[in-house]
Amino acid sequence: MKFLITAGPTREPIDPVRYISNRSSGKMGYAIAQAALDAGHEVVLISGPVTLPAPPRAQMIRVTTADEMYDAVHANIAGIDIAVLCAAVADFKPAAFASRKIKKREGIPVIELVPTRDILASLGALKAKNFLLAGFAAETDDLEKNAREKLEKKQCDVVIANDVSAPGLGFESDENVITIFLPDQSSQVLPRATKRGLANDLVKILCALQ
Ligand code: C5P
């Protein structure tokens, strides 16, 4: 099978030295990429800025902004069997980019934000969708309700949800607990384990669904 995986955060520039981003480390997406490679699959890994080494044998595409990630995903979706959108894409970006560094002496700036394009929803809306589409939901509350809403709104086949409010789990951590939600209302909990262990199970489950 051929996987396309997005991972890590995006950075939305304010001026040449400042940006808006988030705490995503990329660990979960990179673990899924490595698990898929180890199981003998092909992987296109589209990654925002992270400090992790590229998994050997992955086709790496490095991007910075949400717009770049959107374009890279759409340029590489042909021939993909399973798309796993794990990246923590910024939801908002500055409406304008200041080409010179904003000076402190000019006072506190007002930065207008505009929404970024939703990559997952854009794949869900593709009419000729012949790949399995898995999205992630990082939630601090109402895990099931939010995950099921995402499944429907973004027209995914699978939503993988994790509770990012739990200490020692989720963002930046090496461990996670995930729940897999499917459109037939069923769900499956993968109990606390390393991201790499969860990734192995997830790859098997996704391949069985495709
Ligand atoms: O709506 P929310 O951001 O919580 O949805 C998370 C899911 O949507 C993740 O799979 C994430 O990769 C994807 N997403 C995306 N493009 C965006 C925002 C989120 O692909 N602009």
Report the relative pairing of strands 12-15 and 2-7 from DSSP bridges. unpaired
Q: Which of 85, 17, 82, 77 is nearest to 48 (CA)?
A: 85
Q: How many CB atoms lie within 10 A of CB 145?
A: 10
Structure tokens at 97: 């980019």
Query: If you take atom 17 of ligand 1, which residue's CA is the nearest one?
Result: 118
Structure tokens at 58: 């992955």
Average pLDDT, 10 consecutive residues per value, the chain (210 residues) = 98 98 94 98 98 97 98 98 98 97 95 98 92 92 92 96 78 85 92 93 96
Query: What pLDDT shows up at residue 189?
Result: 94
The whole-model pTM stands at 0.95
Q: What are phi and psi of 115, to 5 degrees?
A: -70, 150
CA triple 161-201-128, angle to 5 deg? 65
How many Å apart are CA 11 and CA 26, to the nearest integer? 13
Residue pair 60/45 in contact (Cβ under 8 Å)? The answer is: yes
Nearest alpha carbon, ligand 1 atom 2: 137
CA-closest candidate to residue 89, choices 60, 61, 49: 49
State the Cα angle at 96 between 90 and 97, rounded to 5°: 85
Instruction: Output the CA 108–ligand 1 centroid distance in Å.
Output: 30
- Distance, CA of 113 to CA of 130 (rounded, Å): 34
- DSSP secondary structure letter of residue 110: P
The response to whether residue 137 sits with its C-beta less than 6 Å from ligand 1 reads: yes
pLDDT of 170:
66
Measure 157 CA to ligand 1 centroid, in angstroms.
14
| Pairing status of strand 18-20 against strand 59-62 | unpaired
Strands 2-7 and 82-85: parallel
Q: Tell me the β-bridge partners of 94.
A: 113
- Does residue 33 have its Cβ closer than 6 Å to ligand 1? no
Amino acid in position 27: K
Distance 150 CA to ligand 1 centre (A): 9
- The two structure tokens encoding residue 39: 């199981």
Q: Among 154, 169, 142, which residue's Cα sits nearest to residue 89?
A: 154
